[in-house]
Amino acid sequence: MGGHSSEHEISLKTGGMVLKNLDRRKFDALPVKIGKDGSWPITLEELKEKCDVAFIAMHGEYGEDGQIQSLLETFGIPYTGSGPIASALAMDKQKTAVLLANNGLLVPESLTAIPNDIHLEFAVAENFKNFPIVIKPANLGSSVGISIVKEKARFQPALQKAFQYSESVLIQRYIKGREITCGTLEINGASIPLMPTEIIPRTSDFFDYYAKYNANGSAEITPPNLPEEIIKNIRFTALKAHKILGCSGMSRTDMIMSKNGKLHILELNTIPGMTETSLLPQQAKKMGIEFPQLLEIIIQSAFIKNKT
């Protein structure tokens, strides 16, 4: 847990909740807190000797982008969640969008911006005839650095905000609709879509950082008040996205359902949060899976992946 990403504190919360809820009759747990400076309290050689599996509770860069996974694989340490390739793909929102679109799923129209691109405003005007648009870092989670830009005057400030967190920025068409998210969990080697959640932000226009991590930031309805056929389609879409990217263990797919009922995928999270307000544990609980059992399932999937 921890690490030198912008999501260090959220990672510590996730790691703390994992430690708190592990069934100690079955597991001994050693917390490994990686500092903001990237320092480790233990060597990887010592970690390999001490642990049967590493439970990765690191969000954002280094933890969710395939780096820690590659490092653990180098030392032959089994770990939870997706491998390096799927992690890196899911972390890169533009590559994710291209891959999903090429496999028949809907994603918002988008383009990628780099710093000091003199043609950017022209490209935006050509691709997006009207505001609002969405500007976000291309490879971060937890809604860090995201802005919904409703007028041209706010374009440059939103762009600079996003560039504070990433060397590339994703500009997307804003799709008005209902925010939906749906987890996928691997149980005994089979990928099972969980019950989806509708997110209704109370404090902002979208599910931003505050809405995600404050108890009163949003209303989260699991399952949504939607017809059964639409619920089935949401779950099918999340499962398909999970498989297209080659994820394992667990994932959570965030979507917007437009007024015509079409599902547009915004992003895929390979290490969903496990805090008091997190969505994956809520969804699992609706399917009869309590937190300690959820953690056991995630750990078991790591052993299954390591054997194969």
SS3 194: coil
- Active-site choice (7, 92, 198, 208): 7
| HSE value, Cβ hemisphere, 13 Å, CA-based, for 224 | 23
Select which of 64, 65, 186, 267 is catalytic.
267
Helix H or strand E encompassing 15:
helix 8-21
Residues 6+ apart with CB under 8 A from 283: 182, 183, 194, 195, 196, 197, 222
Helix (H, G, I), strand (E, B) or coil at 265: strand
Q: Out of 63, 143, 213, 235, pick the active-site residue.
A: 213
- 252 a catalytic residue: yes
Assess whether 254 carries a catalytic annotation.
Answer: yes
Radius of gyration of the chain (CA): 19
Q: Is 5 marked active-site?
A: no
Q: Which of 218, 248, 252, 278 is catalytic?
A: 252
117 catalytically annotated: no
Instruction: Let me know if 81 is a catalytic residue.
Output: no
Strand ranges for the chain from DSSP E: 110-113, 133-137, 147-149, 169-173, 177-187, 190-193, 197-201, 218-221, 250-258, 263-269
Active-site residue, selected from the candidate residues 2, 63, 66, 273: 273
Please pick, among 5, 82, 139, 269, the residue that the annotation labels catalytic: 269
**Active-site annotation holder among 2, 60, 254, 301:** 254
The Cα 60–Cα 140 span in angstroms is 6
End-to-end CA distance of the chain: 26
The angle at the Cα of 181, spanning 179 to 185, to the nearest 5 degrees, equals: 175
Is 7 tagged catalytic? Answer: yes
Indicate which residue of 139, 142, 147, 166 is catalytic. 142
Calculate the alpha carbon distances from 144 to 166, 189, 265 in Å.
10, 33, 18
Alpha carbon distance 259, 253 (integer Å)? 19
The residues assigned a catalytic role are 7, 142, 213, 252, 254, 267, 269, 273
